[in-house]
Chains A and B, each alone.
Chain A
Amino acid sequence: MLYRENGQFKTSYAADQQVFPIAQDRWAVVGIVVFAFVAVPLLVDEYMFRAILIPFLILSLAALGVNILVGYCGQITLGAGAFMAVGAYAAYNFHIRVEGMPLLLSLLLGGFTSALVGIVFGIPSLRVRGLYLAVATLAAQFFTDWVFLRIPWFTDNSLSGNVSVSNLQVMGWQLNNPLNKYLFCLAFLTVFALLAKNMTRSAIGRQWMAIRDMDVAAEVIGIRPLFAKLSAFAVSSFFVGTAGALWAFVHLASWEPAAFSVDRSFQLLFMVIIGGLGSVMGSFFGAAFIVILPIVLNRLLPEIGDLVGVEISTAGISHAELIIFGGLIIFFLIKEPHGLARLWSTGKEKLRLWPFPH
């Protein structure tokens, strides 16, 4: 009864093209955002912020970026970690080399640099697609791994690319406790999610999807593949790079290139698969799932072991994690290729028709 759109008539195209055309959705989203900004800080302890919420927010942002490229534009990437690294180290260089550079600007410039690098590594996409492209993006991954490990200039001559930042503040507001860090990341994610949603519902988003669904036909109706693909690479890398800068500055504070290895790239790809390709909402679901799963397994597996009388070692847990993780990926691909986001929308569809299921 609650979730029904009877009586909500659209009298203009503007009303029909809102982000959330159904009133209940609108209120729900406003509610969640208010809850996240006001109620969560009152309810949650430091561990929660540090281990779950902050990683979730930043990885959601990165997953959003990956989803733009993979889910919306259909270009597989196995090199997302590379663009996180570029964002992080570029922001670091702006931060330490430019006197009085505001933190916010450093972070965004990190994202911007990552966008430029993204365009360069997106060029192969004009010639190759699918699996070949996936391998081409791995080139970006291994190349940046090497650059930040071996070229000292990028890392201010530090040993093996290990750098750190401290005393972060935004316009006098200290980022020195988990709560402030959380709010900072939350603000970032809120703005970027809105931007992503706007792009995907306007001309640029349709260009991306057209290229994804049928590239020859897209060209025939006057979409330039060059622009569509490279803009997707740029926007995606901007998101991912900014997330990388946040991950390094706000979450880690001290990091080395290994923080952005190929494993990170795979992790981001899994987030968008499990969450839902081509869905902004799905990026959040996927990030939440992958951040929370290992924590849950870590707590749960030893207890299950106790129940059946087997002691599970830490190594055993990490192996079990691998197995469960891989199994889940396969399960999702087989059972629900559109991910958690599709389960969500099927649920909503059922609710709209309730009590008349079909």
Chain B
Amino acid sequence: MSRKIGEVILDLKKVSLSFGGVKALTDISFDVREHEIRAIIGPNGAGKSSMLNVINGVYRPQEGEIILRGQHFTKMSPYKAARAGISRTFQNIALFKGMNVIDNLMTGRNMKIRSNLIQQAFWWGPARREELGHRAKVEEVIDFLEIQHIRKTPVGRLPYGLQKRVDLGRALAMEPSILLLDEPMAGMNVEEKQDMCRFILDVNDQFGTTIVLIEHDMAVVMDISDRVVVLDYGKKIGDGDPDAVRANPDVISAYLGASH
């Protein structure tokens, strides 16, 4: 199946973010096209995670704006971002530890729940039907990620690699149009990385989900992404397809040169 990369759906313009006096991001602009896999790379502390946090409103940039499908946001909030179809995974897994895998994924369906508190308290008609409907959807995600055997295990008891997978599952349960992945492969062994790569490509392929990802593994990034943004010390130093970025002298000196 061939993917068609579409128009720009997410456009960041001149975003600057600072904490107290520390500048985390300076004047960063880049765009994301529909259906593409867009990578953000850079050395530690380059501001990659901050970038994602700006996109989905966890951090509020002091300057700049975010244009999402033609809509301008100067103040994004996590809730607005979720409404607009952005979901994400976290670098240090932020699962709900006290709940099992099914319930974690069900929270991802939360935005689609229509029944109210009273109906839920009485487990009455619509609430019950909805609950079963979403369960069926969640089971689809479980099948997709091949985690059937752990569906009733509390996530706190799962090994790291599986937790990462459940984290992805929860984001997928939202049926997002844009998926932000914060180091989805950090700390994994080769097999787990291969699995994760496969899931990312499948998500992109089958559901046409736009993916923005941060990753340290250069080989992976260069293989799977369509375009790459390079950050260093909160500034953008490169942007383009993997080959162009690889050839960019700034990038080589700031990042590839330093780490090899």
Contacts and interface: CB of A to CB of B under 8 A. Distances in A.
In the complex, A touching B (Cβ < 8 A):
yes
Candidate in A17, A210, A221, A278 with the most chain B CB atoms within 10 angstroms: A221
A296 interface: no
B106 interface: yes
A214 B123 contact: no
Contacts of A13: 132, 135-136, 139
Query: Main SS of the interface on chain B?
Result: helix
B131 A206 contact: no
Contacts of B117: 199, 204, 231, 235
A207 interface: yes
Interface residues of B, number: 41
Interface in B97-141: 97-99, 103, 106-111, 113, 115, 117, 120-123, 127-128, 130-132, 135-136, 139
A99 B250 CA distance: 83
A17 B81 CA distance: 31
B231 interface: no
A58 B169 CA distance: 42
A202 B131 contact: yes
A20 to B, nearest CB: 13
Given A13-B136, A219-B78, A214 B96 contact: yes
A221 to B, nearest CB: 6
B48 interface: no
A209 B100 CA distance: 11
Interface string A1-30: 000000000000110110000000000000
Candidate in B96, B97, B108, B131 with the most chain A CB atoms within 10 angstroms: B96
Contact of B82 (A16, A205, A220): A220
Contact of A213 (B58, B96, B132): B96
A212 B98 contact: yes
Contact of A221 (B122, B123, B174): B174
Given A17-B135, A221-B82, A214 B121 contact: no
B38 interface: no
A210 B174 CA distance: 15
B165 interface: no
Nearest to B109: A203
A51 interface: no
A160 interface: no
Contacts of A222: 78-79, 82-83, 110-111, 174
Contact of B94 (A202, A216, A223): A216
A218 B99 CA distance: 13
Candidate in B94, B103, B115, B122 with the most chain A CB atoms within 10 angstroms: B94
B95 interface: yes
Interface in A117-171: none
A217 interface: yes
B96 A198 contact: no
B204 interface: no
Nearest to B170: A221
A319 interface: no
B106 to A, nearest CB: 6
Interface in A38-79: none
A308 interface: no
A198 B107 contact: no
Interface of B: 56, 58, 78-79, 81-83, 87-88, 90, 94-99, 103, 106-111, 113, 115, 117, 120-123, 127-128, 130-132, 135-136, 139, 170-171, 174
19 contacts: A195-B121, A199-B120, A202-B127, A203-B106, A203-B115, A203-B127, A206-B107, A207-B107, A209-B96, A209-B99, A212-B98, A214-B94, A216-B94, A220-B81, A220-B94, A221-B87, A221-B171, A222-B83, A235-B117
